[in-house]
Amino acid sequence: MTAATSVPATADVDPRYTVAGSSWPLTDEQREYIAIADELGRTKFAARAERYDRDAVFPTENYDDMRDAGLLRLCVPKSHGGWGADLFTYALVSATIGKYCGATALTFNMHACSSMWPGVLADALDMTGEQRAQHEEYRSLHFRRIVEDGAIYAQPFSEGTAAAAGKAPFGTSATKVDGGWLLNGKKIFASLAGSADYYGVLCTEHKEGASVRDSMYIAVPKDTPGFSIMGDWDPLGMRGTVSRTLIFEDVFVDDNAQLMPRGVYYQAASRWPHMFMTLSPTYMGIAIAAFEFTVRYLRGEIEGMGPRVKRRMFPTKQITVAQMQIMLEQTRALFLRAFSEARVDPPKDVRLRAFAAQYTIMENANQVSQLAIRTCGGQSMLKSLPLERLYRDSRCGSLMLPWTAELCLDRIGREALYEHGEGDD
Ligand SMILES: Cc1cc2nc3c(=O)[nH]c(=O)nc-3n(C[C@H](O)[C@H](O)[C@H](O)COP(=O)(O)OP(=O)(O)OC[C@H]3O[C@@H](n4cnc5c(N)ncnc54)[C@H](O)[C@@H]3O)c2cc1C
């Protein structure tokens, strides 16, 4: 590992409140990366989360700490100076961050995917020799920016149309011009708006009869003429993500701004379904945090609440905690299984399990947080404590395209009942 960090490799954390628990077989590297994330989360992120949420501001200090610890290069391949994390390793780290600051974990998803998709995912996809060589040249530039300059990448694809659900081409267009591309369009809910150094825009190549197959993935530097950020950001939860609207008006970028060659994003979206599961680790972390808070609260262990009052002796509390633990174990089991079997061209059972895992994590994170507030009671939902933030943040999970809770149900139901190409005539 090439981490520049003084953070200890092992952290003294109760395994009940970790993503992998004490028995899941982790590699040494996974243990190390999780320990680094956990140390930062416990010692820095947890205390800052309230301010980012209250003021709806981006967690800049957390990113500075992640940069210093080397975490920003988590998914950059080792051959390019990164830590070479695969999808599962990313998920373990992301969920660990999510325990301490949901907005940091969710935005870290956009940044990490900006190197995971052109990195480990693209390595498993088909490209011609020429495409592969060109991709290698272009991606080295992006990886170098992250590894050497500590650059942060955002990942805007939502447009408020059917495009983000993968049902229509992106309305944002990329027109091929001499030496590069000209981008025009608008993106909504772009996390890291105003804080990213580069915006990895999903768009459609401008040509006659363009379809989803013509999707392009192109990085726009923050100061490019024609690029602007507009609108305010005052949502229910995940307030520190600062997911504002981006406008592209004749934005010119060089050829090497491509994060994937022509046609490869579409191939990835068709063959690597788990690439759309990467938002869920944040919410896995939130569910664990809500459960841990509840146990500590009922045991009278939360600091700063005046005299130590225990509430654990009431049978109704014990039943609720039992329900929460069962739900958490179900969620964690599916999380670990689904992420550990992520691969290109997964068979149908694996693909459907990925949808089931995404649905379960997103819905249960909110359920667990809801039960936590109900059973801890009125004092637990004061803004001086993290629980009400976990509750609000957790509500955002199942809304996130392309795999919203509704779309997961839609896909599971249809694919369970119909084989490929089947109709009812
Ligand atoms: C905190 C936060 C951060 C975000 N950050 C980013 C980001 O960084 N980048 C980014 O690109 N996006 C981001 N998003 C956007 C997110 O992924 C969704 O695009 C956004 O929440 C969609 O909102 P909408 O109301 O436009 O959805 P709509 O498209 O109006 O959909 C509403 C609901 O209808 C259902 N639905 C939609 N399409 C279909 C369909 N074809 N068939 C059946 N049902 C359907 C879905 O369940 C969906 O939840 C973020 C969102 C949040 C909440």
Judged by average pLDDT, the poorest of 161-165, 232-236, 280-284 is: 161-165
CA-to-CA separations, 195 to 37, 240, 259, 374, in angstroms, rounded: 21, 11, 20, 36
> Would you state the pLDDT for residue 13?
84
> Would you state the pLDDT for residue 166?
81
> Would you state the pLDDT for residue 5?
33
Q: Which residues pair with 254 in a beta bridge?
A: 180
* Mean pLDDT score of the chain: 95
> Would you state the pLDDT for residue 361?
98
User: Mean of the pLDDT values across residues 284-313?
Assistant: 92
Ligand 1 atom nearest the C-alpha of 401 is 17
**Phi, psi (5° rounding) for residue 424?**
-110, 5
Judged by average pLDDT, the poorest of 1-10, 61-70, 112-121, 198-207 is: 1-10
How large a percentage of the chain has pLDDT more than 90?
Answer: 93
> Would you state the pLDDT for residue 113?
98
Kindly indicate the confidence band of residue 261, based on its pLDDT and cuts at 50, 70 and 90: very high
Residues lining ligand 1, judged by CB closer than 6 Å?
110, 155-158, 160, 162, 164-165, 167, 189-191, 238, 241, 243, 396, 399-401, 404, 406-407, 410
Residue 260 identity (one-letter amino acid): M
Report d(CA 218, CA 258) in Å as an integer: 4
User: Mean of the pLDDT values across residues 114-118?
Assistant: 98
Ligand 1 atom nearest the C-alpha of 160 is 26
Inform me whether the pLDDT recorded for 307 exceeds 80: no
User: Mean of the pLDDT values across residues 236-243?
Assistant: 98
Compute, in angstroms, the gap from residue 296 CA to the centroid of ligand 1. Answer: 35
Kindly indicate the confidence band of residue 163, based on its pLDDT and cuts at 50, 70 and 90: confident
Label residue 226 left, alpha or beta by phi (over 0 means left) and psi (-120 to 50 means alpha): left
Helix (H) or strand (E) holding 86: none
User: Mean of the pLDDT values across residues 354-364?
Assistant: 98
Inform me whether the pLDDT recorded for 3 exceeds 80: no
Q: Which of 110, 158, 229 for mutating ligand 1's site (highest number of atoms within 8 Å of CB)?
A: 158
**Residues 6 or more apart whose Cβ sits within 8 Å of residue 6:** none
Kindly indicate the confidence band of residue 1, based on its pLDDT and cuts at 50, 70 and 90: very low
Q: Which residue has the higher pLDDT, 165 or 91?
A: 91
pLDDT digits (tens, 9 = 90+) for 11-32: 578 999 999 999 999 999 999 9
Among the listed residues 232, 409, 398, 374, the one whose alpha carbon sits nearest the alpha carbon of residue 298: 374
Compute, in angstroms, the gap from residue 401 CA to the centroid of ligand 1. Answer: 4
Judged by average pLDDT, the poorest of 74-78, 171-175, 379-383 is: 379-383
Inform me whether the pLDDT recorded for 9 exceeds 50: no
User: Mean of the pLDDT values across residues 113-121?
Assistant: 98
Report d(CA 74, CA 139) in Å as an integer: 15
Report d(CA 332, CA 398) in Å as an integer: 17
Inform me whether the pLDDT recorded for 48 exceeds 80: yes
Residue located via tokens 């005052």: 234
**Helix (DSSP H) and strand (DSSP E) numbers for the chain:** 13, 8
- Coil/strand/helix, residue 326: helix
Inform me whether the pLDDT recorded for 41 exceeds 70: yes
Inform me whether the pLDDT recorded for 7 exceeds 50: no
